[in-house]
Amino acid sequence: MIAIIDYDAGNLKSVEKALKYLGQDVIVSRDSSEILQADKVILPGVGSFGDAMNNLDHFNLVDTIKKVAEKDTPFLGICLGLQLLFEKSDETPGAEGLGILKGEILRIPPKEGLKIPHMGWNSLNIKPQARLFDGIANNSYVYFVHSYYLKAEDENIVAASTEYSTHIHASVESGNIFACQFHPEKSSDVGLRILKNFASL
């Protein structure tokens, strides 16, 4: 059973639909006991860092997510869900993130000829041993929509990166914690393979 966390800040339906297409047993829930009993957990996310953290706090999900991380349940953050795993973001100064991983969430710097948000398909530089990208060719394209990006403190947790105005840490893996800045559920066959890899962990 894969639990998708519902906190009124995510693209839940598209993630759920992609997983069901892959034949996975899925629930969408904000019930802590259901989430803690799941075999795997996904935190999607669309919107602002501060609002999302307020919602997680409102639904008493902050401690639940930290317990999932501590008990070695495979956990996947998607888009804003990646950013929330870190301590803070330039998007909402003063707002505390989950702090499960260490790094900075920074605004993509303006660059002539490039639009912000970074929106559309971009290629990934994938590390050879990245479990989420098993069977996926380096420089494969995935779909991004974001104005803020991760700069992880520990380069060793970076599974894939991309270039858009700056060097962007596009995916991380640390123990049972996985996260993607891009949207695998909107990234065609490559994205489906990523979700399948996560489901198969």
- Between the CA of residue 179 and those of 31, 33, 36, 42, 113, what are the distances in Å? 22, 23, 19, 9, 29
Contact 162, 143 (CB under 8 A): no
Contact 88, 102 (CB under 8 A): no
Closest Cα to residue 111, out of 182, 150, 164?
164
Burial class (CB in 10 A: 0-12, 13-18, 19+), 36: middle
Catalytic site includes residue 118: no
- pLDDT band for 111, please (50, 70, 90 cuts): very high
Q: What is the pLDDT of residue 31?
A: 97
Task: Considering the candidates 16, 79, 118, 173, report the single residue annotated as catalytic.
Answer: 79
Instruction: Write out pLDDT tens, residues 50-81.
Output: 999 999 999 999 999 999 999 999 999 999 99
In the predicted structure, residue 10 carries a pLDDT above the cut 80 = no
Taking the C-alpha atoms of residue 15 and residue 78, their distance in angstroms, rounded to an integer, is 9
- pLDDT band for 113, please (50, 70, 90 cuts): very high
Using CA of residue 113, residue 118, residue 121, residue 123, what is the dihedral sign? positive
Rg (CA), the chain: 15
**Could you state, in order of their start, the residue ranges of all structural domains in the chain?**
2-199
Catalytic site includes residue 180: no
Instruction: Write out pLDDT tens, residues 129-186.
Output: 999 999 999 999 999 999 999 999 999 999 999 999 999 999 999 999 999 999 999 9
Taking the C-alpha atoms of residue 87 and residue 85, their distance in angstroms, rounded to an integer, is 7
The structure tokens 């559309």 sit at 120
Instruction: Write out pLDDT tens, residues 73-105.
Output: 999 999 999 999 999 999 999 999 999 999 999
CATH class of segment(s) 2-199: alpha beta
In the predicted structure, residue 106 carries a pLDDT above the cut 90 = yes
Contact 86, 53 (CB under 8 A): no
Q: What is the pLDDT of residue 164?
A: 98
- Percentage of the chain modeled with pLDDT above 70: 100
In the predicted structure, residue 125 carries a pLDDT above the cut 80 = yes
Task: Considering the candidates 118, 146, 169, 183, report the single residue annotated as catalytic.
Answer: 183
- pLDDT band for 9, please (50, 70, 90 cuts): confident
**What is the chain's mean pLDDT, rounded?**
97
Taking the C-alpha atoms of residue 78 and residue 46, their distance in angstroms, rounded to an integer, is 9
Catalytic site includes residue 146: no
Burial class (CB in 10 A: 0-12, 13-18, 19+), 23: exposed
- Between the CA of residue 127 and those of 3, 124, 174, 199, what are the distances in Å? 27, 9, 13, 20
In the predicted structure, residue 11 carries a pLDDT above the cut 90 = no
